[in-house]
Amino acid sequence: MKAVGYQKSLPIEDKDALFDFEAPKPEPRGRDLRVAVKAVSVNPVDTKVRKRAAPPPGETKILGYDAVGVVEAVGPEVSLFKPGDEVFYAGSILRQGTNAEFHLVDERIVGRKPKSLSFAEAAALPLTSITAWELLFDRLGALPAPDAVKMNAIPAIARMAVDQFHVAGPAQTLLITGAAGGVGSILIQLARRLTGLTVLATANRPESRDWCLKLGAHAVIDHGKPMKEQIDALKLPPVTLIASLTHSDQHYKAIADFMAPQGKFGLIDDPAEFSIAAFKGKAISIHWESMFTRSSFTTPDIIAQHNLLNDVADLIDKGVIRTTLADNYGAINAANLKRAHALIESNKSRGKIVLEGW
């Protein structure tokens, strides 16, 4: 089968940073699905793994986590899907990736593809949707708005404890830093449409600002300038929840200064410097989100990602949220993947970059 991989951690400009090669077609075992990959998207984690995790000498590592495709074969213990089903998922960081014609994935982290989307449109969603959902609801503890409960927007909301639904609580603001990227693009939509939070995004380019507003942010500020003064001028409800998606080391001290006491600070990046002491005086809690935790440790609730992705598909098909696809780079090959990695490493991407077909 066709695949794209690497053998050494190299700058993306190097001709061998990613290369096309032929790999054996994998055989499904246990709860594995073998998926014929139709489209993939590229995430910051792809670039981080390429730069930091070289495979053993003589081996070739295949990157890629997001994928959309058709189930081609199943392992003997599979019960959730059958050959011919169209699926989408974000894979596991412990296995070979989705930049291949055929890919193995545990069915418990796979959802049905949204019916209303093309393969390319659906490929933009899995990893960022899981990350945004887990960060907002599992880590930061946001509650669904009464309207979302009444319209039964998604099964996951209906599965939440019923005694939470009547707890309106005081008005609160969620601040999303670096909100124009992949995770931010879906997080804005989830927070705006499924909660009663005021959604405040940060972006420092006009096109990124416009992107955040179109996705539903109530307001956008420039994280390249002092944030407290901009927030004070907006006269928003207290900033009680933070989704720090990028450059947490640059922003956390300033955020600790203007955050409301007893708030929650959630982050997904890898800050070079981060001291929780900055939050002690206000009793602000710190929450890490990693969407690979369930698949890496086969947690007892690993099936939650299957349910979550099905819920996202329902939201899409009901028109509650939309795909965050920004650019389609064409066929899945080394040249196009290198272009995608380069754009992500420039920190100038917005939404998601997708590649489609072989």
Looking at the chain, the whole-number percentage of residues with pLDDT higher than 70 is: 94
The superfamily in CATH containing domain 2-125+300-356 is Medium-chain alcohol dehydrogenases, catalytic domain (3.90.180.10)
Would the pLDDT of 241 be above 50? Answer: yes
Would the pLDDT of 216 be above 90? Answer: yes
pLDDT digits (tens, 9 = 90+) for 11-67: 999 999 999 999 999 999 999 999 999 999 999 999 999 999 999 999 999 999 999
Residues 104-125, mean pLDDT to the nearest whole number: 98
Decide if 155 contacts 311 (C-beta within 8 A): yes
Residues 312-340, mean pLDDT to the nearest whole number: 96
Query: What is the pLDDT, as a whole number, of residue 350?
Result: 82
Say which residues have a Cβ less than 8 Å from residue 159's Cβ, sequence separation at least 6.
none
Query: What is the pLDDT, as a whole number, of residue 166?
Result: 43
Could you tell me the residue ranges of all domains in the chain? 2-125+300-356, 129-288
Query: What is the pLDDT, as a whole number, of residue 158?
Result: 44
Query: What is the pLDDT, as a whole number, of residue 161?
Result: 40
Please state which of the ranges 5-19, 167-181, 241-255, 298-312 shows the lowest mean pLDDT: 167-181
Residues 344-350, mean pLDDT to the nearest whole number: 87
pLDDT digits (tens, 9 = 90+) for 63-88: 999 999 999 999 999 999 999 999 99
User: How far, in Å, CA of 328 to CA of 355, rounded?
Assistant: 6
The superfamily in CATH containing domain 129-288 is NAD(P)-binding Rossmann-like Domain (3.40.50.720)
Taking Cα atoms as reference points, which of 249, 278, 285, 262 lies closest to residue 177?
249
Show the CA angle centred on residue 304, arms to residues 302 and 305, nearest 5°. 85
Average predicted confidence (pLDDT) for the chain: 93
Handedness of CA 120, 122, 126, 128 (dihedral sign): positive
Would the pLDDT of 237 be above 60? Answer: yes
Query: What is the pLDDT, as a whole number, of residue 164?
Result: 45
pLDDT digits (tens, 9 = 90+) for 152-199: 555 554 444 434 444 445 789 999 999 999 999 999 999 999 999 999
Residues 252-278, mean pLDDT to the nearest whole number: 96
What are the helix (H) ranges across the chain? 44-52, 119-123, 126-133, 146-150, 155-159, 182-194, 206-215, 227-234, 248-258, 293-297, 304-317, 334-345
